[in-house]
């Protein structure tokens, strides 16, 4: 469930309360008249099951609550209530399949910023992968996959493409391009530094590497892996399942490919650098395509659920373009 805190203007408070009371997916409704001071209005509290949350948030925006008041939502980890159980039974669909578009847009939009933390994480992940490539060590590759933060901009790009948000598209692409370019340049420099220190050498890259050799040899399976990773990653984001695995799945050959390209560039192994860059491009494109298709299928699915549950009048509203 989601816990909603709503500041409603006094002239819209009754309409908001009636809207929430009439929705079968809403429970624990409380209205505190005049409790809000900035902005001024009534404070309305309620819990809503995830299956109904997207519809409720959309209706609140239609009433102008967002413009003149405010709405915030938090996940409810535990609810002991027969009213909540009844709301879950009466709401259409299943909670694990529900998509709250405003929540996804807000979550992914925050991850398009070129923050210092994002840049440090992608640089560290690429450097770790660079060392892993030279040592042919799968454990380090997995560690780098977990550290890599590139799924945030990739997911934001998928959502922005579906919602036709040019500003978010530009920010997502910028975060990916700038992040990977900085990571590759710094990994080249770190490779030169480690070589000077005698810790690694060009022969390690040219030697047989049965575990990591696939990174710079893209083939049809590269598309398959990227597509499957995109589906799994997007479902993990929208359903909040298997969150700890997202980094591993999404970074199957993104960060490692960038690292292999950097190491190959550092040693002047141009064919391997080219293959790695192609692998990186293939996986990014495959992840974006499958992530976008996954979101589109979820959007259509929930439109069908709403149509079956509420009839053609209400169901004619397909999931709207999220704000943000």
Q: Tens digit of pLDDT per residue, the chain (324 long)?
A: 899 999 999 889 999 999 999 988 899 999 999 998 889 999 999 999 888 888 899 889 888 888 889 999 888 888 888 988 888 888 776 766 677 888 888 877 777 888 889 999 999 999 999 999 999 988 888 888 888 888 889 989 999 998 888 999 999 999 999 999 999 999 999 999 999 999 999 999 999 888 888 888 888 888 898 888 888 888 888 876 655 455 545 556 799 999 999 999 999 999 999 999 999 999 999 999 999 999 998 888 777 766 665 554 343 334 444 433
Q: Which candidate, 246, 219, 236, places its Cα nearest to that of 294?
A: 236
- Does the predicted TM-score (pTM) go above 0.75? yes
Per-residue tokens: 185:
């340049």
**Pair 277, 135 in one domain:** yes
- Inter-residue contact 211 to 137 (CB < 8 Å): yes
- What are the tokens at 87? 């709301």
Give the β-pairing of 70-75 and 2-8.
antiparallel
Same domain, 70 and 133: no
Is 109 in the same domain as 206?
yes
Tell which residue, 321, 180, 198, 316, has the closest CA to residue 259: 180
322 part of a folded domain: no
192 domain-assigned: yes
- Do 45 and 118 have their domain in common? no
Number of domains in the chain: 2
- Same domain for 110 and 22, yes or no, is no
3-class DSSP assignment, residue 78: coil
Claim to verify: residue 106 and residue 204 sit in the same structural domain: yes
DSSP 321: P
Instruction: Using alpha carbons, select from 288, 236, 226, 289 the residue that is nearest to residue 256.
Output: 226
Looking at the fold, whether 118 and 73 belong to one and the same domain comes out as no
* CATH number for 234: 1.20.1080
Could you give the CA distance from residue 76 to residue 61 in angstroms, rounded to a whole number?
22
């Amino acid at each position: 469930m989601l816990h909603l805190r709503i500041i409603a203007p006094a002239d819209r408070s009754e309409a908001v309360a009636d809207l929430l009371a009439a929705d079968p997916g809403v429970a624990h409704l409380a209205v505190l008249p005049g409790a809000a001071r900035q902005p001024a209005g009534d404070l309305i509290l309620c819990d809503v099951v995830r299956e109904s949350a997207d519809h409720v948030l959309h209706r609140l925006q239609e009433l102008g609550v967002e413009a003149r008041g405010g709405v915030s939502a938090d996940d409810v980890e535990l609810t002991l209530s027969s009213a909540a159980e009844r709301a879950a039974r009466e709401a259409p669909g299943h909670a694990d399949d529900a998509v709250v578009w405003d929540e996804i847009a807000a979550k992914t939009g925050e991850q398009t910023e070129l923050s210092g933390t994002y840049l440090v994480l992608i640089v560290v992940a690429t450097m770790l992968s660079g060392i892993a490539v030279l040592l042919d060590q799968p454990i380090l590759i997995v560690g780098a996959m977990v550290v890599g933060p590139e799924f945030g901009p990739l997911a934001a790009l998928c959502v922005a493409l579906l919602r036709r948000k040019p500003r978010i598209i530009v920010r997502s692409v910028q975060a990916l391009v700038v992040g990977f370019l900085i990571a590759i340049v710094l990994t080249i420099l770190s490779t030169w530094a480690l070589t000077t220190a005698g810790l690694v050498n060009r022969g390690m890259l040219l030697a047989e590497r049965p575990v990591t050799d696939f990174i710079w040899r893209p083939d049809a399976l590269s598309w398959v892996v990227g597509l499957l990773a995109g589906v799994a990653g997007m479902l993990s984001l929208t359903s909040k399942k298997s969150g700890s695995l997202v980094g591993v799945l999404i970074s199957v050959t993104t960060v490692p490919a960038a690292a292999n390209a950097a190491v190959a560039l550092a040693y002047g192994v141009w064919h391997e650098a080219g293959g790695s860059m192609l692998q990186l491009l293939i996986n990014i494109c495959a992840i974006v395509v499958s992530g976008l298709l996954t979101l589109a299928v979820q959007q259509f699915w929930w439109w069908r659920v709403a149509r079956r549950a509420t009839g053609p009048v209400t169901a004619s509203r397909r999931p709207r373009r999220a704000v943000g």
